[in-house]
Structure 1
Amino acid sequence: MSPTIYIVIMSSLATGTIITMTSHHWLMAWIGLEMNALSIIPIISTMHHPRSTEAATKYFLTQAAASSMILFSGMINAWQTGTWDITQLTTMPSHVLLTAALAMKLGLAPMHFWLPEVLQGSTLMTSLIVVTWQKLAPMSLIFLTINNLSTTILMTMGLLSSVVGGWGGLNQTQTRKIMAYSSIAHLGWMAAVSSIMTSIMIMNLVIYLILTTAMFLTLTQTKSKTIQDTTMTWTTSPTMTIIMMTLLLSLGGLPPLTGFLPKWLILKELITQNLAAAAVIMAMSALLSLFFYLRLAYSTTLTLAPSTTQTKLKWRLKPNMSTPLLSSLSTASILLLPLAPLMLQ
């Protein structure tokens, strides 16, 4: 892809998200979502491979269906109330349709099936865009309409997503699919707390973006596409191997790392709201996620390659990508927990 076309596509992608995040009219929000979805499709299908074409098709069909449901929800509301204002969503069919559409956009269970497939057909950097930037517009719509969305559906989908995200990742050997199920599980935690306290949801989203970006940059730097590839990480950079292990533990939510903070606050909030059963289910599902993170951490740092390699001094070579972003995000992914009182003010 030529640099000019790439710049146009990436700026359209950013513009679409920003239009949706700043709009108060349903049509403007829908236009932003459509711009966003149509911009990412050429990026997914850049590889000119049947798998990437399939991923782009699946992504397009899912996002088009979700966008049309959002527009339909806005039309029903406008028909009933006479207003297109996003915050004035008052009719019951609109609530349910919008909640389902946003869940499909985000990849919440039971409408999550497209996410692992799309990520598997994309490159690591494209997968990073899909699981980070592409979540911003739907999450902003959830934030704007949270007073009118169906709390029961959101809570059910949150619980289901955290369980499915943990269970689905157990059987995977591809790092992109593992990160897809990790994304589903994290979004489940956000959906569960969204109707109770939006400030915790936003904090969870920010921490999720930092952790996931750092993890994907590490995988890209080490060219790790399968669990077997991660066993050779030490040849590229011994330091990055240790960082990768702590990143995985942070994603799993182990104290005293950054990933523990959102899980701790969400469980505390659920128990405060007398939702102890939901809190127990989510805590148990976090153990499932932790298992496959630990498996990755084990293969990365605690085992050596099954056979002797001739590239033991590969770490002496200059890295093929810029590392300041990776180093700063990795530091934030590991050491943000002491800043919890500052974040909670």
Structure 2
Amino acid sequence: MSPYVLTILLSSLGLGTTMTFASSHWLLAWMGLEINTLAIIPLMAQHHHPRSTEATTKYFLTQATAAAMILFASTTNAWTTGEWGIDSLSNPLATTMFTTALALKIGLAPMHFWMPEVMQGLDLTTGLILATWQKLAPMALVIQTAQTINPELLTVMGILSTLIGGWGGLNQTQLRKILAYSSIAHMGWMVIIIQYAQQLTLVALGMYIVMTSAAFLTFKTAMSTKTSTLATAWAKTPTLVSMTALVLLSLGGLPPLTGFMPKWLILQELTKQDMPLMATTMALAALISLYFYLRLCYVMTLTISPNTTISSTAWRTQTIQTSLPLALFITAALGLLPMTPTILTLLT
């Protein structure tokens, strides 16, 4: 892809997200989401391959459906209330439709079915953008309207997402599908607490973006898209593989790593809200997710290569990829735990 075209597309991605962040009018927020979607479509389809074309088509259809539902919900709300402001969402039908559309946008259960299939057809760089940057604008709208959305609906979606994200990733061997189910599970953690403590949602979203970026960039450096090829990574970059194992365990929420802190704070807040059963369900769902992260760690660090792998051994050539973003994200993913009180203080 031409550098000029790539610059325009990435600038449009930033413009769409910023427009949604800054908007207080439904049409402006909808326009930002549309610019965001239309900017990532060429990035997804740049590899002229049937899988990427299929993934792009699925993504476009689901996002177009979600955008139409948001536009219809905002029009319905304006029709009944006479207000176009985002904070004036009061019509029950419009609220439910809007929540469903945003769940479709971010891949929240039970509207999650497109996420693993789309992620599987993309390269790792575009998958990273889809799993991180594309979540920001819809999550901003969810946070702004969290107090008007039906709390039971948010709770059901949050629990379903954590359970489906855990169960769905158990039998996967494709790394992109595993990270897609990881995204679904983490979205459930963010959504279930959003009505009680929005700062915890922001903390969980920030930690998720840092850890997922580290995982995607590591797999890109190791040129791995399947769990079987991870077994050859130890012989090439042992230090990176050691750090990646800790990043994956942090994604699973294992103490004393960074990913444990948002989950612990969310469970603590749920307990304070007299929802111990909910907190127990979320903790058990996190244990299910932790299993497939442990399986990836086992394949990377405890499997002797290349005797037990069925894939061909990759050439041990020097990588030409930029390592600074990878180093920054891994450092942040492993060292942000002591900074959590400071982050919470800044957000409250």
Q: TM-score, normalised by structure 1?
A: 0.97
The 5-angstrom pairing of residues 69-148 of structure 1 reads 69-148=69-148
2:242 paired with 1:242: yes
8 Å Cα contact 2:203-2:344 kept in structure 1: no
In structure 2, the CA distance between the partners of 1:164 and 1:308, relative to structure 1 (3 Å rule), is closer
Letter aligned with residue 329 of structure 1: F
Q: Point out where structure 2 has 5 or more consecutive residues left out of the alignment.
A: none
User: Closer, same or farther in 2 for the Cα pair 1:274/1:301, shift >3 Å?
Assistant: same
Aligned to 1:330: 330
Aligned length: 343
State the one-letter code of the partner of 1:85: G
141 and 241 in structure 1: CA distance in 2 versus 1, 3 angstrom threshold: same
- 1:319 CA drift (Å): 2.7
For 1:254-273, list aligned pairs within 5 A: 254-273=254-273
- Partner letter of residue 113 of structure 1? F
Cα distance in 2 between the residues matched to 1:313 and 1:173: 22
Alignment-derived partner of residue 173 in structure 1: 173
Supply the distance in 2 between the matched residues of 1:212 and 1:313 (Cα, whole angstroms): 26
Shift of 1:77: 0.9
Larger mean Cα displacement after TM superposition, 332-341 or 114-123: 332-341
How does 1:151-170 map onto structure 2 within 5 Å?
151-170=151-170
Match of 1:342 in 2: 342
- Corresponding residue for residue 10 of structure 1: 10
Residue 308 of structure 1 and its aligned partner are, at CA, apart by 8.9
Corresponding residue of 1:297:
297
* Equivalent in the alignment of 1:253: 253
Decide whether the 8 Å contact of 1:221 with 1:320 is kept in 2.
no
Which one is further off, 69-78 or 3-12?
3-12
1:167-246 equivalences under 5 Å are 167-246=167-246
1:180 is paired with a residue of what secondary structure? helix
Q: Which residue number in structure 1 is paired with residue 277 of structure 2?
A: 277
Residue pair 2:217, 2:326 contacting (<8 A) in 1 also: yes
- Alpha-carbon separation, structure 2, partners of 1:36 and 1:276: 38
Which amino acid is the alignment partner of residue 212 of structure 1? Answer: T
Change (3 A) 1:96 1:292: same
Further displaced range: 176-185 or 35-44 = 35-44
Shift of 1:44: 0.8
Q: Deviations over 1:145-177 (max 9, x none)?
A: 111112111110000000000000001000000
Distance 1:64 1:330 in 2: 35
Distance in 2, matches of 1:123 and 1:61, equals 20
Change (3 A) 1:93 1:312: closer
1: distance between equivalents of 2:47 and 2:138?
27
| CA distances 1:112-165 after superposition (whole Å, capped 9, x unpaired) | 010000110000001000000000000000111111112111110000000000
Contact 1:200 1:262 (C-alpha < 8 Å) held by counterparts: yes
Q: How far 1:87 sits from its partner (Å)?
A: 0.8
The alignment-based identity, stated in percent, is 50
> Amino acid of the residue matched to residue 33 of structure 1?
L
Q: Which residue of 2 aligns with 1:29?
A: 29
**Residue 287 in 1 paired to residue 270 in 2?**
no
Q: Is the 8 A contact 2:235 2:305 kept in 1?
A: no
Q: Deviations over 1:166-193 (max 9, x none)?
A: 0000010000000000000000000101
Deviation of the 1:312 alpha carbon: 9.8
C-alpha distance in 1 between matches for 2:324 and 2:242: 17
> 1:38 Cα shift?
1.0
Q: Judging changes above 3 Å, is the alpha-carbon distance between structure 1 residues 341 and 308 closer, same or farther for their aligned structure 2 residues?
A: closer
* Structure 1 residues 133 and 313, CA gap change in structure 2 (3 angstroms): closer
Amino acid across the alignment from 2:187: L
8 Å contact from structure 2 (residues 108, 187) kept in 1: yes
Distance 1:312 1:99 in 2: 45
Cα distance in 1 between the residues matched to 2:163 and 2:218: 26
- The answer for the alignment partner of 1:53 in structure 2 is 53
Amino acid across the alignment from 2:279: A
AA matched with 1:181: Y
Give the SS at the match of 1:344: helix
Structure 1 segments unaligned to the other structure (5+ residues) = none
Contact between 2:77 and 2:90, CA under 8 Å: does it hold in 1?
A: yes
Q: CA deviation at 1:313?
A: 9.3
Kept in 2, the 8 Å contact 1:30–1:70? The answer is yes
Calculate the aligned-residue CA RMSD, in Å.
1.5
Secondary structure (helix, strand or coil) at the match of 1:46 reads coil
Q: Secondary structure at the match of 2:87?
A: helix
Aligned partners of 2:232 and 2:313 also within 8 Å: no
